[in-house]
C-alpha cells in the first residue's frame, strides 16, 4: 500500500501523513515514511526529536538516474538496492516506522529539486518487500504531480480545509493524478469546526466528482502538541482529531484491497 498526501500549503498534510504512518505501524504494518517536502518536518510528527532529526542524512542527489526499459519507457533507476538505501539513510522512528528524507533546500540558489522528486518516484516503484506501507508527505502545491513523482502510488490523499482556495487545489490535483494513472484519489477534510464547514466540503466534493473519505475536526490538542514540540499521536492519542485519523487509517487497507 503506497499512499501520498498532498494539498495546498498550510492545510495540515504533514500532520496527517505522519500520524497515519504511526497509526498504520501500530496496526502491525511495516511502514516506510518518505519526506518529499523541500522544508522537511515529517520527523517531528513521527516523534523523532529535533536533536535526532539533525543527524538524518537526506538522500544524495546521485542516488538515481533516468533509464529506458526495453520498450523505450523511461523509469527511475536506483543505484543501490532499496534495502541498502534504507540501511544507509533510514532514520528509526517510534512504532518501528522508518523515515527517509528526500532532500531539502539548505541554501539560496541551490537550484531545482529534480533529484529529490526522482528519488521519491524510484523508491515507491521499487518498494517490493522492504515495507508493507509507504507514506509520502509531498511538497505543497502541484509540482510533484507535474513531475510524475507520485505515479507509482496506490492512493493520493488530498488534504483540504473548508475554504475555496484549498478546495480548488484539490480539483487540480485530482485531475493531474488521473492523468498520471493514480488508481485512487480521495479527499480528507481537515480542521473542520462546524456542520456548515463539513457541508461546504461535502457539497464541493459532490459537485466536482471528488471522493470525500474522512473529516478531521479542528482540535486544539494538535495545536498544543506543536507548541510542546511533540508528535500529536504521543501528546493527545485520544483527542477528537486522533480518533478520526485512527478511523481513517483502519479503513485504508480495505479501501485499497
Whether the CA torsion 24, 26, 27, 30 is positive or negative: it is positive
Q: What values do phi and psi take at 3, rounded to 5?
A: -130, 145
Q: Give the pLDDT confidence score for residue 108 in this predicted structure.
A: 39
Cβ–Cβ < 8 Å for 239, 230: no
Cell of 12: 495540515
Provide the 10 A C-beta neighbour count for residue 198: 16
Packing angle between helix 240-255 and helix 220-227, nearest 10 degrees? 100
The residue assigned the cell 533510514 is 90
List the CATH number of the domain containing 166. Answer: 3.40.50.300
Q: Give the pLDDT confidence score for residue 201 in this predicted structure.
A: 97
Q: Give the pLDDT confidence score for residue 110 in this predicted structure.
A: 41
* H or E element in which residue 175 lies: helix 164-180
Q: Give the pLDDT confidence score for residue 113 in this predicted structure.
A: 46
Cell of 39: 522544508
**Domain span at residue 24?**
2-255
Please report, for residues 25, 60, 139, 200, 203, the alpha-carbon distance to residue 164 in angstroms, rounded to integers and kept in the order given: 34, 38, 20, 9, 12
DSSP reduced 3-state for 38: coil
Cell of 144: 510533484
Give the pLDDT means over successive 10-residue stretches in the chain (257 positions). 92 96 95 88 94 90 76 74 88 95 55 54 63 90 79 92 93 93 96 96 97 97 94 96 97 87
The total domain count for the chain is: 1
| pTM (2 d.p.) | 0.88
Q: Give the pLDDT confidence score for residue 104 in this predicted structure.
A: 56
Q: Give the pLDDT confidence score for residue 109 in this predicted structure.
A: 38
The residue assigned the cell 510528527 is 45
DSSP reduced 3-state for 56: coil
Amino acid at each position: 500500500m503506497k499512499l501520498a498526501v498532498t494539498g495546498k500549503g498550510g492545510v495540515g498534510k504533514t500532520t496527517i501523513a505522519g500520524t497515519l504512518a504511526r497509526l498504520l505501524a501500530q496496526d502491525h504494518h511495516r511502514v516506510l515514511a518518505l519526506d518529499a517536502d523541500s522544508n522537511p518536518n515529517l520527523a517531528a510528527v513521527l516523534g523523532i526529536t529535533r536533536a535526532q532529526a539533525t543527524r538524518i542524512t537526506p538522500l544524495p542527489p546521485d542516488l538515481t538516474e533516468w533509464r529506458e526499459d526495453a520498450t523505450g519507457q523511461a523509469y527511475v533507476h536506483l543505484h543501490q538496492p532499496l534495502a541498502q538505501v534504507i540501511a544507509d539513510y533510514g532514520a528509526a522512528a517510534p512504532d518501528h516506522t522508518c523515515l527517509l528524507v528526500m532532500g531539502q533546500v539548505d541554501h539560496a540558489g541551490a537550484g531545482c529539486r529534480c533529484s529529490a522528486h526522482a528519488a521519491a518516484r524510484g523508491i515507491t516503484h521499487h518498494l517490493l518487500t522492504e515495507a508493507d506501507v509507504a507514506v509520502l508527505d509531498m511538497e505543497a502545491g502541484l509540482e510533484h504531480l507535474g513531475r510524475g513523482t507520485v505515479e507509482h502510488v496506490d492512493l493520493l490523499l488530498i488534504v483540504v480545509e473548508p475554504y475555496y482556495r484549498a478546495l480548488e487545489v484539490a480539483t487540480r490535483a485530482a485531475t493531474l493524478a488521473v492523468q498520471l494513472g493514480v488508481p485512487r484519489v480521495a479527499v480528507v477534510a481537515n480542521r473542520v469546526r462546524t456542520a456548515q464547514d463539513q457541508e461546504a466540503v461535502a457539497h464541493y466534493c459532490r459537485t466536482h466528482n471528488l471522493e470525500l473519505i474522512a473529516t478531521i475536526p479542528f482540535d486544539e490538542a494538535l495545536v498544543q502538541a506543536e507548541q510542546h514540540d511533540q508528535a500529536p499521536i504521543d501528546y493527545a492519542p485520544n483527542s477528537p482529531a486522533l480518533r478520526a485519523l485512527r478511523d481513517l487509517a483502519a479503513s485504508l487497507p480495505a479501501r485499497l484491497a
